[in-house]
Structure 1
C-alpha cells in the first residue's frame, strides 16, 4: 500500500559526498521505530563533487530516499523550501548533512513536539566551532531575540522539528531560514527549544564565512518588516521620520536662538544639515502613509489564519 509517510526528514546539502553514506546509516538506525513510516529527502543544492552520484546510489538501494537536485547553488532557504514542498509526512525534521547533527536526537525532538508544541528548535550548547564564530553566533542570537520578541539560544541551528501546519504558512527566500522560529512565532505557533549535541566536522569544510554578518543584519530587518510592521508600515517609517524631523528641528532651533543674539548662520553647515534632515524625515512619513494605503487596498478583505472554527452545530474543527 502506498500511503503518506508519517515522518519526513529533510537534509539540504552542498558538497558533502564523503559523509553521505555514514549519515544514511545513522538515520536508518535512529528511525528504526518508524521503519515503514518515514522518508528521507536529500536536497542537493548544486554540489560540484560526487554528492549527487552518492545520492543516486542510496535511492537505488532504498525507495524511501528521495533526491532533489538544483542545477546550481540556490542557497539553504531554497533547498529547504524544495524539501518542504516535496515532503508528505505530518511531522518534518530538518538537519544538516555535515554529520555535526546527531540523528539519534530525533526521538527527543518528537517527544518535545508531543508536549503540545508546533516547532522544536535545537540548541547547540557546546558548539564545535572556532571561538570567533561562537562569539558572533551569541551576538546574533541575542540581537534577534531582542528585536523579534522570541527568546532562543540558537536561531540558526539547522536541527529542527515541525508540524506540517508550520511549513504550510511560512515562505522562505534569501537567507530567511535562520529566522524560521521567529516567523513561526509571529504566525501564532508554539515554539520550544532543546539542547542537542554538536559533533566536530569529519568531512569537507564549512560553507559559512564572515560575509554572513552584514547579510544577517539585513535579513533581520526584513523579518521585522514582515512580522511587526507588514500591516502597519507607518509605525516604522513614521517613527524614523519623526526622529529625523525632531533632530532637524532641534538643530534649527539652536541656530535661530543664536541668530537672535546676532550670530550669522547663513554659512553654518548645521543649517544645511538640519534642513536636509527635516526633509528626509518628512519623506519617511509620507512613504509610510503611501505604504499604509497600499496595505489597506490589498488586504482590506483579508483576515489572519484561523486555528479552529465552531460551526452551527457547535462541533470543533481544527485547521492545520
Structure 2
C-alpha cells in the first residue's frame, strides 16, 4: 500500500455498505509475513473497534493461506473476501448481497466497465480465454477479489497453492450456483500491471493444473492413457517403418529413429502405468469419498 491509511479507508467504505444492509459483521485483516507488519493506524483501530481483528503470519505463505486462515477464524454464515485496495466501487457490495439473496451460492464481482490501461485488458482477455477454454467456464474477471458467498461454499472448495484465483471455477465444479455481477471499476484501480516472465509461467502452470483437476481427478487413466497411447502409436509406427526398411535390406542399427521409436514405446507404457496407479488410488479412496453434494432433501 502506498499510504498506511489505505486499509482503514477500505475498511470504513465496506463497513458503511454492510451497515446500510443492517448486517452484523466482523472484519479480519490477514497480513502475509512477506509484506511487513500491519500499519500502526490499523492496529490502533483494532484496539478500539471490536469488529476489527488482525492476523499476521510469521512468514510469507501467500493469498490462499490467508483466505484459509480467514475462513477458519471467522464466525459468520456469510463470507466476503475484500482485496487490500479498491478494485470496484464499494456500493457494488450491496448488489452482490442482493444477488446472493436471490438464490446464488456465490457472487463474484466483475469490473465493468473497465477503466484501466489497455495492457491490463488485453492480459485479462487472453487469460480468461485460455482458462474458460480449458475449464468450460464463462467468467470474465475471476481475478477480482470482491466475492460474496455462503460459508458452506467456501468450506467445500479445495484451496491450495495459488488456486485462490480460480475460486469461482472450483465452486462451479462442486455444483454451486455462481453468479458474476458487473460493478463499475474504481478510479484507483487503473495503474498498468506488467509482471516478470516467471509470474506468467506460474499462472500458465496453474491453469494446466486447473484443467487436470477439473476433468481427470476421478478418472486419471483417461488423461494418462490418452497421452501414453499416443506415444505407443507413434513409437509403433516408427518401428514398423524401420522394420520395413530393414526387410528391404537397409541398415537401421545406427538410425536415431530407432532410438526414438523405442523411447516412445517405453514412455508410453510408463505413462499408462501411472494412470493405472492413479485409478487404483481413486478406487481405494472411493468408499469414503463423495463427489456429489446434496443441496436439499424434502419428505420423510
What TM-score do the two structures reach when normalised by structure 1?
0.84
CA distance, structure 2, for counterparts of residue 46 and residue 205 of structure 1: 26
Aligned to 2:280: 293
User: 87, 92, 103: which one pairs with 1:100?
Assistant: 87
The range that moved more, 131-140 or 289-298, is: 131-140
Aligned to 1:302: 289
CA distance, structure 1, for counterparts of residue 222 and residue 3 of structure 2: 45
The range that moved more, 97-106 or 126-135, is: 126-135
Aligned to 2:58: 71
The structure richer in strand per residue is 1
Q: What runs of 5+ residues in structure 1 fail to find an aligned partner?
A: 1-13, 316-320
1:193-238 CA-to-partner distances (Å, cap 9, x unmatched) read 1112222447999796543211112222322333322221111111
Contact 2:88 2:111 (C-alpha < 8 Å) held by counterparts = no
Judged with a 3 Å threshold, the aligned counterparts in structure 2 of structure 1 residues 78 and 205 are, in CA distance, closer, same or farther, namely farther
Contact 2:236 2:265 (C-alpha < 8 Å) held by counterparts = yes
Judged with a 3 Å threshold, the aligned counterparts in structure 2 of structure 1 residues 176 and 250 are, in CA distance, closer, same or farther, namely same
Q: What's the CA shift for 1:308?
A: 4.6
1:61 paired to 2:61:
no
1:239 paired to 2:226:
yes
Judged with a 3 Å threshold, the aligned counterparts in structure 2 of structure 1 residues 208 and 104 are, in CA distance, closer, same or farther, namely farther
The range that moved more, 232-241 or 206-215, is: 206-215
Q: What's the CA shift for 1:247?
A: 1.6
Contact 1:16 1:97 (C-alpha < 8 Å) held by counterparts = no
Q: What's the CA shift for 1:260?
A: 3.6
Instruction: Kindly report the root-mean-square deviation, in angstroms, between the aligned alpha carbons of the 2 structures.
Output: 2.6
Contact 1:20 1:54 (C-alpha < 8 Å) held by counterparts = no
* Number of equivalences: 300
Contact 1:120 1:191 (C-alpha < 8 Å) held by counterparts = yes
Q: What's the CA shift for 1:178?
A: 0.7
CA distance, structure 2, for counterparts of residue 238 and residue 227 of structure 1: 17
The range that moved more, 169-178 or 42-51, is: 42-51
CA distance, structure 2, for counterparts of residue 199 and residue 175 of structure 1: 25
The structure richer in helix per residue is 2
Contact 1:16 1:98 (C-alpha < 8 Å) held by counterparts = no
What TM-score do the two structures reach when normalised by structure 2?
0.89
Contact 1:44 1:52 (C-alpha < 8 Å) held by counterparts = no
Judged with a 3 Å threshold, the aligned counterparts in structure 2 of structure 1 residues 208 and 115 are, in CA distance, closer, same or farther, namely farther
Judged with a 3 Å threshold, the aligned counterparts in structure 2 of structure 1 residues 41 and 16 are, in CA distance, closer, same or farther, namely farther
